[in-house]
Chains A and B, each alone.
Chain A
Amino acid sequence: MRAIEPWVEGPLTTFLTESSARLVLLMTSAGQVIAQHGFTRSLDVMAAAALGAGIVASTGELAKLLGPSPFGALVHQGTNQAVFLAPFTTPRGRWIGLVVYGKETSLGLIQLFFNRMVEDLSQSAPVEHARRAVLAENFEHELNASLRALFGR
């Protein structure tokens, strides 16, 4: 498991242990990766984050068209594995969780422990301090630092 924000590791580890999920990706609503477990290639993580954020954004717009209340989680059930995608609010803003799980667990367990992880994240989040602006000349450095944190290289 790799996380850009160290305080995310505790709640995420607990979630992984309790839920038996195969892959987990936590990202911002813009698709920036916060933490991941199970992915082995950076390209897969970046693509999954971008696609996941896109799906949440498009279903959010669909929900606005259909009614006043937004959708909660989205589940895509496959033959051998399923994808659970859910936005949630943290003290650091709106994040998205993408969870891939198999037959060794169930949607009920994933939902249950995901909700607990969201509570844990809210409690674990450090007090927000002024963030440094990411300038254009620092962008590549910041990106490489994030990739090193996520993949250890």
Chain B
Amino acid sequence: MTNFAQQVLEEVTRIPGVRGALLVSEDDGLIVAEALMEGVDGPAVAALAASLTGRLGRATRALGKAAPVLLHLQATGGAVFSAAGGEGLLLVAVTAADVNAGLVRLSLLDAAGRLS
């Protein structure tokens, strides 16, 4: 699983503008596997992504809807994408602001599907 996860993360990081990818435990917000560029605060990204996904999931369930499949948080200096990877895991990507968001989404959903 670890080698496979690492391979999947490295595939995501090959997209230009992606500064790192992580596999995160959804309940704990802890890193399971990572492929990050230097300077990216992995634990902070993992905790933020898990917290956002958890809160958004609770909000949508309270509205009677299914949990979101993919989360895209766009900020001034970059973006965070998070997709459910099955077995309580999240596949998270940290990107530059000008990344091809569509390509990142497709790649993450494809990778998340293979991890499930």
Contact = CB atoms under 8 A, between A and B. Distances in A.
A97 B28 CA distance: 19
A108 interface: yes
Interface stretch (B11-19, B40-48, B65-73, B104-112): B40-48
Contacts, number: 31
B51 interface: yes
B44 A112 contact: yes
A109 interface: yes
Mostly helix, strand, loop or mixed at chain A's interface? helix
A107 interface: yes
Interface residues of B, number: 13
Which of A106, A107, A111 counts the most B-chain CB atoms under 10 A from its CB? Answer: A106
Count class of interface residues, chain A: under 10
A105 interface: yes
A106 B54 contact: yes
A111 B43 contact: yes
Contact of A109 (B24, B25, B51): B51
A106 B43 contact: no
B94 interface: no
Interface in B1-60: 24-25, 27-30, 43-44, 46-47, 50-51, 54
Contacts of A107: 28-30
Interface of B: 24-25, 27-30, 43-44, 46-47, 50-51, 54
15 contacts: A105-B51, A106-B27, A106-B29, A106-B50, A107-B29, A107-B30, A108-B24, A108-B25, A108-B30, A108-B51, A109-B29, A109-B47, A109-B50, A111-B43, A112-B43
Given A108-B28, A112-B44, 13 more contacts: A105-B51, A106-B28, A107-B28, A107-B29, A107-B30, A108-B24, A108-B29, A108-B30, A108-B50, A108-B51, A109-B51, A111-B30, A111-B47
